[in-house]
Amino acid sequence: MRPSRYDVVIAGGGHNGLTAAAYLARAGRSVLVLERQDQVGGVAVSARAFDGVDARLSRYSYLVSLLPDTIVADLGLRVELRPRRIASYTPAGAGGLLIDDGDTARTAASFAALTGDGRDWDSWQRFYAAMGNLARRIFPTMTEPLRSRAELRALAGDDATWVYRRDESLRLPRAQTFVLTDDGIPYLRPELVFLFKAKAMRPKDELDFVTALPRLDLPWLHRLLDPNHPWLRT
């Protein structure tokens, strides 16, 4: 029979709710998970997405790369995860951009075919390597209490990549980085995107910036961008 009292009640049976419930139960607590839908799993569920096609696909979360091995081991999960060789394919231009983690030459050729020279490939390799180094140091802390920004920065040991070091002005409160649609759906403030473009000053972004300028919230932009910025003078 169901108990009438629980040590912990969790609203929502997404993967975080289920994981928390499993850990609490293992620690001897009685737990009730309340889920409003017919199934648990939240966004991380697979479903037969297409009528007549007997294939189960993830409808939203498509990578399980953030599931730490520690949790799999702690909870005795019977799940086998396999890395995929093709990291991504982005339809763009005539042939798209293919990132093949098993074939560097193929990825380099895909970059060259799309961008016409090796510069983007070089930049991307540097970025990928920097992110890899950062992830190898930070990821193991995900199952620990959240560290402070200063602690994480020290752990990362790579000040060149640490974004906050790059531009203090981009340390904005969350409410200033998002705006809402009429339906209340949050999206990234366009001014922020254009701020990044203006600060990086890549020639290819200038036309975008100047064209969008009349539609942007100029007072917002002016607080963060040098009023003498050349793109503001056009």
Residue span 90-129 as binding mask against ligand FAD, x where in contact by CB under 6 A, dash where not: ----------------------------------------
Query: Is residue 87 a contact point for ligand FAD (CB under 6 A)?
Result: no
Q: How far is CA 212 from CA 171, 197, 198, 217, in A?
A: 23, 12, 12, 10
99 close to 125: Cβ distance less than 8 angstroms: no
Q: By CB under 6 A, is residue 62 in contact with ligand FAD?
A: yes
Binding mask 27-56 for ligand FAD (x = CB under 6 A): -------xxxx----xxx------------
One residue of 9, 11, 138, 154 binding ligand FAD per CB under 6 A: 11
User: What is the smallest separation between the CB atom of 10 and ligand FAD, expressed in angstroms?
Assistant: 9
How many residues touch ligand FAD (CB under 6 A)?
A: 19
Q: Is 187 in the site for ligand FAD (CB under 6 A)?
A: no
The only residue of 4, 60, 79, 174 in contact with ligand FAD, by rule CB under 6 A: 60
Which residues contact ligand FAD by CB under 6 A?
11-17, 34-37, 42-44, 60-63, 66
